[in-house]
């Protein structure tokens, strides 16, 4: 049986993935599952386990999430201890808030023994309140796995399931493009700064209105006609572009109220 690699698409820029590949079997052109992993996950053992499962693993310096299992699905992996501590200090809420702004599906995958949670958690009520906030307020799904090998199994299953949908370039969010980056990446980054707009939606807006200026000057009805925008998001975009600037306001930091388990701004 012939085996090889077929170039799927290419994005050229410094500091980002240069190309992604789809593998194939010569007899049937059967694609392998592909997952993008953050560089910092190399030492976790999960990427190696994914490769053992036959997954095509691509590394990149991701700004959001640890694993991309589909164009619009990101996974943040945490150990049990880091998961609990990040709930209390507010880090996790910042992370998931950014994830859901960019990706349609956001997951928090907790690796380790769930029994440790009751020993680590300061207040069980506050812990479950935070879990409720993740699901109901942020619409984030939570998975628990006992080991890196099981984490890889879960990621592979998610990627394979999601691969059955229509193909699309993965939404990969990197740090701010350098001055030498290609112009189209700078344009995507610029439009992505609008509220509720990630790189994938930014591309659709640029395809419709041709330039960032065209996006910024579009009316609410025009914006709402773009797939994935809708009336409510179009109005948010319009307000952000037309509201008078009122000075710098210190960004609030969400934290967990240990007394009743609610998420507050501070």
For 28-61, how does the pLDDT look when each residue is reduced to its tens digit (9 = 90+)? 444 578 899 999 999 999 999 999 999 999 998 8
**pLDDT at 250 (0 to 100):** 46
Q: Give me Rg for the CA atoms of the chain.
A: 20
The answer to whether residues 109 and 37 belong to one domain is yes
The answer to whether residues 75 and 154 belong to one domain is yes
The answer to whether residues 121 and 231 belong to one domain is no
- The rounded distance, in Å, linking the Cα atoms of 108 and 28 is 35
The CATH number covering residue 187 comes to 1.10.150.20
Query: What is the per-residue pLDDT across 209-251, written as a single tens digit (0 to 9) for each?
Result: 999 999 999 999 999 999 888 888 899 899 888 888 775 444 4
Torsion 112-115-116-120 (CA) sign: positive
**pLDDT at 35 (0 to 100):** 93
**DSSP class per residue in 112-126:** S-TTHHHHH-S-HHH
Q: Is the pLDDT assigned to residue 138 strictly greater than 90?
A: no
Helix/strand number for the chain, H first, E second: 11, 10
Query: What is the per-residue pLDDT across 68-95, written as a single tens digit (0 to 9) for each?
Result: 998 888 999 999 999 988 888 888 888 8
Structurally, the chain folds into a number of domains equal to 2
């Amino acid at each position: 049986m012939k085996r090889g690699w077929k170039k799927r698409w290419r994005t050229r820029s410094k500091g980002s993935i240069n190309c992604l590949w789809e593998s194939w079997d010569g007899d049937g052109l059967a694609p392998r599952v592909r997952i993008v992993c953050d560089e910092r996950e190399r030492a976790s053992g999960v990427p190696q386990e994914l490769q053992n499962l036959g997954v095509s693993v691509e590394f990149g310096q991701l700004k959001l999430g640890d694993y991309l299992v589909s164009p619009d699905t990101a996974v943040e992996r945490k150990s049990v201890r880091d998961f609990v501590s990040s709930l209390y200090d507010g880090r996790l809420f910042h992370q998931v808030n950014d994830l859901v702004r960019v990706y349609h599906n956001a997951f928090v995958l907790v690796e380790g023994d769930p029994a440790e949670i009751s020993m680590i958690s300061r207040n069980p009520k506050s812990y479950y309140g935070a879990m409720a906030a993740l699901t109901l307020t942020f619409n984030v799904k939570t998975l628990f796995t006992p080991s890196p090998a099981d984490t890889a199994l879960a990621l592979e299953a998610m990627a394979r399931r999601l691969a059955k949908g229509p193909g699309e370039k993965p939404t990969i969010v990197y740090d701010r493009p350098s001055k030498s980056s290609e112009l189209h990446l700078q344009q995507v980054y610029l439009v992505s700064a609008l509220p509720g707009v990630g790189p994938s939606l930014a591309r659709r807006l640029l395809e419709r209105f041709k330039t960032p200026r065209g996006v910024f000057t579009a009316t609410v009805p025009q914006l709402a006609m773009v797939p994935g925008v809708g009336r409510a998001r179009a109005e948010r975009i319009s307000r952000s572009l037309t509201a008078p600037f009122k000075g710098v306001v210190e960004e609030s930091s969400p934290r967990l109220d240990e007394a009743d388990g609610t998420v507050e701004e501070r």
